Structure 1
Amino acid sequence: GISAADPLHTVTAKDREAVTAAFLSKFYKTGVGQDTSEPLHTVTTSPGHFGLTIVKLERENTDLGHWNEIRELLNRYADYKIGCDEILLISIKEQKYFISDIGLRMLTPKELYAANGFPADYIIDKDCDGKTYGKTKQVARCGNAVPPPFAEAIVRANLPEMCGEKIGSMEMLKKIMVG
């Protein structure tokens, strides 16, 4: 992508330029978008959240993604009566679009912990006795954890005289505790 302030690339017969707008949505029934510069709200493990977008309908692009599920949702919750062999098309300036699942990919537990400032070698998949945690429990524990940068900031602000070097990994912590 390029900035909207920059000139477009060479315009050809192939449609390859588009305007995109990034936003985050909470998807809690009253999902309201938020600016991407705002801090991310609490990530929960609640299932069933989804997002929709519209996709340009082209002859070479006939993949309708999760249209059957979307049609079912529209029929159930929006009083549509769309048949199994029908598709809802939206026309904008003589171009046809269809509703499609935006294909959200949920973050993996490792990605969630990294986003919260945990060291890369932080152990998230088992407890202190070696009992393995499943993905749902790993995500739940991340949501309930105090991110290390927050804890460090509080300690450094309140007890600077007791603070030494920054501990950047679990390996460093082990060396300090042993030595």
Structure 2
Amino acid sequence: MVDVIKNTQIHCTYGCKSSKAVQPDVAGKMISKAKRPLFIVGSQILKDEELLKRSIEIAKKADLPVAATGHSMSGLVDQGVNAKYINVHALATYLCDPNWTGLDGKGQYDTIIVLGHFKYYIDQVLSGLKSFSKLKSIAIEREYIQNATMSFGNITPAVHIEALDELIDNL
């Protein structure tokens, strides 16, 4: 088992509540038990072929709808995943709206999973969601994301790939 919860050092915090460090097997089980999850991927998945491969595998294995932000959509086209492009800030606004019916029109999401974003960027987005919605958020990023409900710790790229593999095994 990969230990990804050791290093949760942060340099500043947003509010009084920080995310709980989570192991990959627990995150995988939580994703698979979510009633209405949404996988939000950022353009950083395109910088590493292994990360892109794991992103596609997560979406396929858990049958997750994917919100492709930035230019991440280019890596998801013709990959057999249910991906739709949306701006991450617009998505955050919609996720806070209890009347929004989701990207597919089937209702509000209960859990979001984030991967492939810049830390400073996704932390701000999750800060708003933490304050203005009841969503659970699971950050499976390489960095500890303190505004998520749960997050991996600060880990190396090699450990991150191992952690994603373990998460996939538990979906």
TM-score, normalised relative to structure 2: 0.21
Give 1 or 2: higher helix fraction: 2
Please say which structure displays the higher CA radius of gyration: 1
TM-score, normalised relative to structure 1: 0.20
